[in-house]
Amino acid sequence: MSGSGPAVRVSIESSCEKQVQEVSLDGMETYVPPLSMSQNLAKLAQRIDFGQGSDSDEEGAETEPRDPQEWGKQEPEEDEATVKFQPSLWPWDSVRNNLRSSLTEMCVLYDVLSVVKEKKYMALDPVSQDPSAGKTPQVFQLISKKKSLATAAQLLLKGADKLSKSVAENQENRRQRDFNSELLRLRSQWKLRKVGDKILGDLSYRSAGSLFPHAGTFEVIKNTDIDLDKKLPEDYCPLNVQIPSDLEGSAYIKVSIQKQAPDIGDLGTVSLFRRQPKAKAGTQPWHVKLEAAQNVLLCKEIFAQLSREAVQIKSQIPHIVVKNQIISQPFPGLQLSISLCHSTGEKKNQRASPEKPKPDDHLYVLEHNLHQLMREFHKQTLSSIVMPHPASAPFGHKRQRMAGPMAYDKAEISNLQQNEGLLEKIIKQAKHIFLRSRTARTIDSLASRIEDPQIQAHWSNINDVYESSVKVLITSQGYEQICKSIQLQLNIGVEQIRVVHRDGRVITLSHQEQELQDFLLSQMSQHQVHAVQQLAKVMGWHVLSFSNHVGLGSVESIGNASAITVASSNGEYAISVRNGPESGCKVLVQFPRSQSKELPKSDVIQDGKWNHLRGPYKEVHWSKMEGRNFVYKMELLMAALTPCP
C-alpha cells in the first residue's frame, strides 16, 4: 500500500505452540523444549546493542526531511508528550544508560591517571628549601633524645606505681568480696547469727527436735594467714570455721555381734577407728569440717540415748555400759556390742594397729538404722508438742469426754503409754539379722554337704526390719517336674522361725540352729519317699501303703522314718522303701513265689494258683546300683521289674 504517511510497525509474536524439532519415520514428532527463565534472560541480553545511542532513532528521524503536514501533525503529539509520561520503549533501556554512565566515568578516571603519570601532559616542580636550616649538630640531637627518653621513663614509672597500688587494692577488695561470698554461701547451708563482733553458727539438731544438751556452736573467722605478695594456693579459702574441741575429728557408731564376750576390764580400750573417705573435688574445707563435726555430735547423741536406756531398762540379763561400749546379750552365747568410735586425728589417741588385721564385723545396716531411728525420734518430739488449751473446758471430740463402758481402764492407758526405746528396737533388729544369717548359713551348709536331694533357697527382696521370708524347694536332679511335694516357706522373725508347708500346716521353730537343721534333714528324707510315690504313678505302679511316720524299726534320733510300698502293674513284684534322716535308705524287693528257690515244698499247698503269690523280701544293695541319684536308680529298678507287654 503506497502512501505519503509514515510507515507503521507491526509486531508479530510467536505462537504458543512448541516448535517441531524432528519427525521420525513412524510419524512421531519431537518438540523443542521451552526455554527456562535463565535461558530466556540470556537470549534477551544478546539482543542489546551497547554501541547504539539511546536517542539515535530520534536523531535519525530528525535528519529526514519532513513535510509541513507532518510537522503539523507532530506538534500536537509533542505537546501531549510534555504532559504525559512516556515509558521506555524496551525493558533494557535503564541497563544501557547505567552502563554508558559508568563507561564515561571510567574514561574520565583514565584521563586523570594519564595526566598524573605521564610528564608530557603536566610537570610538577619541587619547592626550593634553605640548605642551612636542615643541618643540626649531633650534640643537640643526643640531648633532645635523652630528654625525650627521660620524660618517657618518668611516665612509665608513674604508671607502674599506679598499677601496683591498684593491684594491691584489688587483691584486698577481692579478699573482702570472696569472704562475703563464702559467708553468704555458708549462711545458705548453716544457721548463723551475729553476737557482738563474732559470727556464730549452730551445729545441733534442736530445730529438728533434738533434746541433746550440747550447744554445738561454731565460730566463723576470716582467714588472714596468706601473704598478699605471694601467689594464692589453689585450695585457698578466705573463710575458716572454729569448732569445739570435743567435736573435732570423725566418729561413727560400730555395731557388731560376737560369739565370745571379752573381759569386762578390757572393754572400751580397743582401737576401733577406720579410715575416713576422701573429700570430693571442689568441696569447700569448711563444709567438710562442719559436716564431720555435726556427725560427731549426732553419734554422741545416739550413744548417750542408748546409754540412758540401757541403765533404765529392766531386763533379765542387764545391759553393761563401760566407757564407750554398750554390751547386750540377745541370745545365749552371743553378745551385741555398740561402740562409739571417735578419732580426733592426734597420734597420741591412736594406737598402733595389730600385725594381723581383724575381719570387719561391723554391721553397717544397724548403724544406718540407728541414725534413722534417731531422726524418727526427733520427728516424734516435734509432733508431740501440745499447744496450750483453755482452762475452762478442753475442746475436742465428744467421745473423749464420754465415761462408762467406753472409757479406758488403767491397763489400756498404760499400754498406750508404753513405747519401745532406741535400744530395744536395735536389739530386736540385731536378733533378726543374726537369725536370718544363721538360717542362710544352715541352708547353704546342707546344700553343699548333701547332693541328693538338692535344696534350693529363694530369698524375698521385699523384707521388713523385723521379718524376712525365704522359700525352700527340695528337688531331685532331672525330676524337678514330678517331684514338687516339698515346698517350704520360712518366715524368719525376731526370736523364732515360722515354717508354712505346702498344705498349710504351720510349724514354729526356735532360734536354735540345730532345730532348723534337723527339720530340714527330716524333710529331705521325706522327699525321697514322696518322689517314689510320684514316680510310681508315672511308671504305672500301684501304691500299696504310704506313711510319713513309721512306728516300726529302729528309732531315729532326728525326726521319724517314712516308708512306702509299691507293686507292679500285674502284681508280681513289689518294692518297699524305708528312708530315715539318720539311718538312710533301705530298699527291699518282693519276687513271685514261683521264682523263689529257697522256699521248701509243702504238702499242703498243692494247687498251682498259689504259686502266683509273692514270696519273701530281698534287700537291694543300693550303693552298688547305677544312677546319679536316688530317683534315677528307682526308675531303673522299676523298669527292670516291669513286665514286657
**Which of 442, 598, 605, 459 lies closest to 524 in space, CA to CA?**
442
Rounded Cα distance, 205 and 219, in Å: 17
Count Cβ atoms below 10 Å from residue 390 Cβ, excluding itself. 7
Greater pLDDT, 471 or 169 = 471
CA distance 55 to 66: 18
Q: Which of 204-218, 278-292, 430-444, 596-610 is predicted most confidently?
A: 430-444
**Residue 354 above 50 pLDDT?**
no
**Which cell is 100 given?**
554508558
Query: Residue 567 in 3-state DSSP?
Result: strand
Give the three cell numbers for residue 592.
513271685
Tell me the one-letter amino acid at 527.
H
φ and ψ of 491, to 5 deg:
-100, 105
For residue 418, count other CB atoms closer than 10 A to its CB: 7
pLDDT score for 170? 72
Q: Which of 580, 549, 579, 566 is nearest to 637 (CA)?
A: 566
Q: Return the SS3 of 235.
A: coil
Please give the single-letter amino acid code of residue 600. P
Q: Which of 170-184, 436-450, 505-519, 552-566 has the lowest mean pLDDT?
A: 170-184
As a whole number, the mean pLDDT across the chain is 78
Label residue 353 by pLDDT band (50, 70, 90): very low
For residue range 230-281, what is the model confidence (pLDDT) as tens digits? 666 666 777 888 889 888 888 999 998 887 655 544 444 444 455 555 656 5
C-alpha–C-alpha distance, residues 479 and 194, integer Å: 78
Confidence of residue 35 (pLDDT cuts 50, 70, 90): confident
In this prediction, what percent of the chain has a pLDDT beyond 70? Answer: 71
Out of 131-145, 547-561, 624-638, least confident range = 131-145
pLDDT of residue 277: 57
User: Which among 104-113, 182-191, 261-270 has the top mean pLDDT?
Assistant: 104-113
Neighbour tally for 288: CB within 10 Å = 14
Q: How far is CA 408 from CA 134, 393, 619, in A?
A: 126, 20, 72
In contact, 209 and 225? CB cutoff 8 Å: no
* pLDDT band, very low/low/confident/very high, at 618 (cuts 50, 70, 90): confident
Model confidence at 81, pLDDT cuts 50, 70, 90, reads very low
DSSP type of residue 162? H
Domain boundary assignment for the chain: 179-226+233-260+284-343+361-377, 431-516, 524-596+608-639
Cα end-to-end span (Å), the chain: 131
Q: Is the pLDDT of residue 458 over 90?
A: yes
Residue labelled with grid coordinates 517314712:
562
**Mean pLDDT on 70-86:** 46
Task: Name the band, by pLDDT with cuts 50, 70 and 90, for residue 348.
Answer: very low
At 437 the pLDDT is 92
Residue 461: its pLDDT value, please?
A: 87
Rounded distance between C-alpha atoms, residue 170 and residue 586, angstroms: 98
Q: Say how far apart CA 534 and CA 485 lie, in whole Å.
A: 9
Question: Count of CB atoms within 10 A of residue 497's CB?
Answer: 22
* Of the candidates 459, 436, 455, 437, the residue with the CA atom closest to the CA atom of residue 447: 455
pLDDT reading at 586 higher than 80: yes
- The predicted pLDDT at position 606 comes to 62
Strand 497-500 with 468-475, pairing: unpaired
Residues in the chain: 645
Q: Does residue 61 or residue 107 have the better pLDDT?
A: 107
SS3 of residue 18 by DSSP: coil
Ranges of H-type helices in 251-339:
285-312
| Residue 554 C-alpha from the chain's centroid | 60
pLDDT tens figures, 125-169: 666 555 555 555 788 888 888 888 999 999 999 989 888 888 777
Q: Specify the 3-state DSSP secondary structure of 610.
A: helix
Task: In the chain, count H helices and then E strands.
Answer: 11, 20
Mean pLDDT of 340-345: 84
Is residue 502 packed enough to be buried (19+ CB in 10 Å), middle (13-18) or exposed (0-12)? Answer: exposed
Q: Which of 255-269, 316-330, 572-586 has the lowest mean pLDDT?
A: 255-269
Determine which helix (DSSP H) or strand (DSSP E) holds 438, and give its type and residue range. helix 422-449
Rounded to whole angstroms, how far apart are CA atoms 406 and 463? 38
pLDDT of residue 180: 80
pLDDT of 102 above 90: yes
Give the per-residue pLDDT at 195: 87
Q: In this predicted structure, what is the pLDDT of residue 484?
A: 76
- The average pLDDT across 396-415 equals 62
**Picking from 157-161, 254-258, 289-293, 599-603, which range would have the lowest pLDDT averaged per residue?**
599-603
* pLDDT band for position 491 (cuts 50, 70, 90): very high
Distance CA 134, CA 302 (A): 99
Whether the pLDDT of residue 380 is over 70: the answer is yes
